[in-house]
Amino acid sequence: MRSPEGFEGIFIDVLDEIKRRANLTYTIEASPDDSYGYERPTGNWTGLIGQLQSKKADLAVAPLTVFSKRANIVHFTYPVMSSGLRILYKVPDPWSEREAFSILLSPFTPGLWVVLLLMFIATSVFFYVIGRFSPYEDHAFVGKAATYEGLTLLNSFLYTFTSLTFQGYTAAPRSMAGRFLAAFWWMFVLLVIAAYTASLCAIFLSYKPSILSMPFATFDELSQQTHVAYGIVRGGSTEFYLKNSKRKLEKRLWGTINANSENVMAGSVQEGLHRVHSSNGGYAFITEGPVAEYLSGKPPCTLMTVGEELSEHDYAFACRTETDVCDTINKIIIKLREEDFIYDLKQKWMHQGCQRDDTSEYIFQGVAFFDTFGSSPKYFAERAVTLRRFGTGFLVIFIGIVLSGCILVAEIFYAKRRGTAVPQRLPRTGMDDQQRIDREFRDEDA
């Protein structure tokens, strides 16, 4: 890797140690096209491999992936390190500015909040239906005082609402159908409050200073989403691997990249790095793990590595075939690995800088379509209660509505069998409640 001051990184440090132990001298020059090298249709190679092929260099120092096409052109040293592919992505913006408002809504998904509101409205309306048509409710024939109005439409909503806060409202159901529905509604309310409280406690207990949102967290999720484009270096070892792999995930990744190759492939690692920086979260770059971890650890600390390593490859120096440089280097590399010298270098370069003081971050996946209404949420707590998780609660209130409806029909049928007509609501005459009750209330046995 090259810094503003020159060249630096794990492989440069390994080369310096080899120089010290083997008493070698060298001069480092950058690749003319800033690439590791890929094969042209003519058979010639670009980048570092091309420099070795044309005998302009004796040794290529970079995390070069060892694979067969390159091995036909150059000699590789013993692997300096092994790693897999990683995803280089821009660090999302934290939502701490919105935290005070949004965190109290996060225990439930937006879809669940909407369905809960619909269930509240449906239950309130059904309370009104019971109060209006049941012969054992007082809505139809009592006076105008709030105590005796019964389950009017307004009182039904107020009764349902006050149940959420465990308050007793004077206009309560009197009939068996109404009380049956009230019992199931209270069970539903208890489940809602318990689920909300448990989810909110879990979020608070697991809260970290920086909670970020991510459209993907693994290679599999990256391959299935469509909001973030992703690409690789054109003609490099990553393209060779994905193009020839028989695994389903790799084939899916390559299919998407190949279909949009003109827009997502980069000519070099630096070009891919620039795209990640400039895309504002719209582009992810798949590259060698050591490169991704190195770049994400450099200031201004706006990049991160995502996903477990995909496959595993060896990274080594490459030598011109006419020299014996690799033979000299191999013995030292083996010794360095035995002494954990390279392991210590990995700790130095991959767990320092931006990553040294990095706090724990949660990467949240998206949830089901009906929970988000098809949108791309900016954040979701992994412990949020979704429609699926709260399915039992909806089953409870659904059973309550159905059974209450059956009981209401039975009450009406029973009243008619006894000859008791369903009372009609009397017009208001301005007289006080006691006069109306004395004058107009008739017991069914009278």
pLDDT in tens, 363-374: 444 445 555 555
Whether 318 is in a domain gets the answer no
The model's confidence at residue 32, banded by pLDDT at 50, 70 and 90, is confident
Question: Rounded to an integer, what distance in angstroms lies between the CA atom of residue 137 and that of residue 224?
Answer: 56
- The residue range of the domain holding 165 is 123-200+389-440
Question: Rounded to an integer, what distance in angstroms lies between the CA atom of residue 24 and that of residue 119?
Answer: 78
Whether 134 is in a domain gets the answer yes
Q: Is the dihedral of CA 83, 84, 85, 89 positive or negative?
A: negative
Say yes or no to pLDDT of 211 above 60. Answer: no
Whether 151 is in a domain gets the answer yes
Q: Taking residues 302-309, what's their average pLDDT? A: 85
DSSP-derived secondary structure letter, 81: E
Say yes or no to pLDDT of 327 above 70. Answer: yes
Whether 7 is in a domain gets the answer no
* Torsion angles phi and psi, residue 317, rounded to 5: -75, 160
Say yes or no to pLDDT of 285 above 50. Answer: yes
Note whether 232 and 285 are within 8 A (CB).
Answer: yes
Say yes or no to pLDDT of 358 above 70. Answer: no
Whether 179 is in a domain gets the answer yes
User: Closest Cα to residue 287, out of 46, 93, 45, 84?
Assistant: 84
Q: What is the reported pLDDT for 120?
A: 92
Weakest mean pLDDT among 34-38, 154-158, 430-434:
430-434
The model's confidence at residue 112, banded by pLDDT at 50, 70 and 90, is confident
Whether 225 is in a domain gets the answer no
The secondary structure element, H or E, covering residue 7 is: strand 6-7
**Percentage with pLDDT > 90 across the chain:** 18
Q: Taking residues 372-398, what's their average pLDDT? A: 64
Whether 333 is in a domain gets the answer no
In terms of residues, how long is the chain? Answer: 446
If one counts the domains in the chain, the total is 1
**Other C-beta atoms within 10 Å of 345: how many?**
20
Q: What is the reported pLDDT for 144?
A: 43
Whether 186 is in a domain gets the answer yes
The model's confidence at residue 249, banded by pLDDT at 50, 70 and 90, is very high
Query: Which one has a higher pLDDT value, 420 or 41?
Result: 41
**Percentage with pLDDT > 70 across the chain:** 77
Q: Give 166-174 contacts, CB < 8 A, sequence gap 24+.
A: 170/146, 171/146, 171/147, 173/127, 173/130, 173/131, 173/137, 174/136, 174/137, 174/138, 174/150
